[in-house]
Amino acid sequence: MGDTARRAVHFVGSFPAESTDDAMRAMLGGASARLRTLPTGEVRRYETYLQVIVADLVAQGVLEVSSPGSWDTSSERTLHRVATGTELCGGAMNLGYLDEAREALPVFREQCRERDRTDLALQIGMPTAFTLAFIALGVSGARRYERAFADAMVRDITAVRELAGDDVVIQLEATAEMVAMAKAQPFHRPVETALGLGKGIAAVAAASPAGTRFGVHLCLGSMNNKARATFRNARPLVALANSVARHWPAGRPLEFVHGPLAAGEIPPPSNANFYTPLRDLALGPDTAFYAGIVHEIPSRDEQVHLLHLAEQALGHRVGGVASACGLGRRPRPIADALVARAAELADAP
């Protein structure tokens, strides 16, 4: 394949731990020098992810429940509307990311000192504005209020960068976008164009301070370890990733794009044709592709074979390996095992 660079290990963000310190130590200890960014573990929101953010917006008085749901699956979630008498705008919302960064930064810096990791960056994960609006307000609300959520995100990104400087990487997490593309396959390209999905993701970066470091996580969801959609092959992933890269603004480094090759409880496919579209991935020389291929079902040798299928399609090694989504919705023993498996795959020949 021609590229012998060492693969990184990437963690999407959430981890089943009682504290930020515990989560960070588990990920950093398991991945060691293979890790380039260290997530907070999202310990306040690792089990419920967006539910906590939306519940906070209800408590802030900007949203109210319109249709209660069980949250057993994403499609059975509680839906909301803008609170009566309220104008939903970015300035009215506190999404909580700055508070998360303030709590995590001293923990991060202490662990970096302990391991002499001056090269490591703190990773703050933020669902995209489209995803936040869709989960909170449904299909109609996603288009109408995406801009308001984007404004709130940019305010937090600006504040987090002022706090941490170049020591932070913002990971934009595109779940609604990727699920829409997967469900539309083979008509995913017209959907992406009509909704401006890649353009919308890049717009948040463009509105953020110059020099802000970013990654993008393309996500199929993982509530109760079940994805909201699956791919026939990797074409929707490639189409959305390429659109993001094509629209990406100058002066805001896009350090990686993470794409799911597994999906919740479904392991990565063993069919080589599934990976063939990866040959068309066009991220640019400074953006790594992180393969979301780490899974507990295949054996180690089977997993290495699947990784090689992906790399043969790409024509070179992946920049890094990861699970398809965060580990926070998994029992701790499985999460720890997947940390170890990721390290093994990163070192595979």
Tens digit of pLDDT for each residue in 247-287?
Answer: 999 999 999 999 999 998 999 999 999 999 999 999 999 99
Residue-range domains of the chain with CATH:
8-44+99-130+149-222+232-346 (3.20.20.210)
Determine what percent of the chain is predicted with pLDDT higher than 90. Answer: 83
* Per-residue H/E/C for the chain: CCCCCCCEECCCCECCCCCHHHHHHHHHHHHHHHECEEECECCCCCCCCHHHHHHHHHHCCCEEEEECCCCCCHHHCCEEEECCCCCCCHHHCCCCHHHHHHHHHHHHHHHHHHHCCCCCEEEEEEECHHHHHHHHHHHHHHHHHHHHHHHHHHHHHHHHHHHHHHHEEEEEEEHHHHHHHHHHCCCHHHHHHHHCHHHHHHHHHHHCCCCCEEEEEECCCCHHHCCCCCCCCCHHHHHHHHHHHHHCCCCCCEEEEEEECCECCECCCCCHHHHHHHHHCCCCCCCEEEEEEECCCCCHHHHHHHHHHHHHHHCCCCCEEEECCCCCCCCHHHHHHHHHHHHHHHCCC
Measured distance CA(346)–CA(349) in Å, rounded: 9
Residue 89: pLDDT band by 50, 70, 90 thresholds? very high
Amino acid letter, 73: T
Mean pLDDT to the nearest integer, 196-209 = 97
Measured distance CA(17)–CA(307) in Å, rounded: 28
Which token pair is 43? 């310990």
Measured distance CA(84)–CA(148) in Å, rounded: 17
* Closest of 329, 327, 328 to residue 341, by C-alpha: 327
- What is residue 1's predicted lDDT score, i.e. its pLDDT? 41
- What is residue 315's predicted lDDT score, i.e. its pLDDT? 97
Q: Is pLDDT of 171 > 90?
A: yes
Q: Is pLDDT of 2 > 50?
A: no
- What is residue 39's predicted lDDT score, i.e. its pLDDT? 97
CA atoms within 13 A on the CB side of 162: 9
Measured distance CA(277)–CA(275) in Å, rounded: 6
Q: Is pLDDT of 74 > 80?
A: no
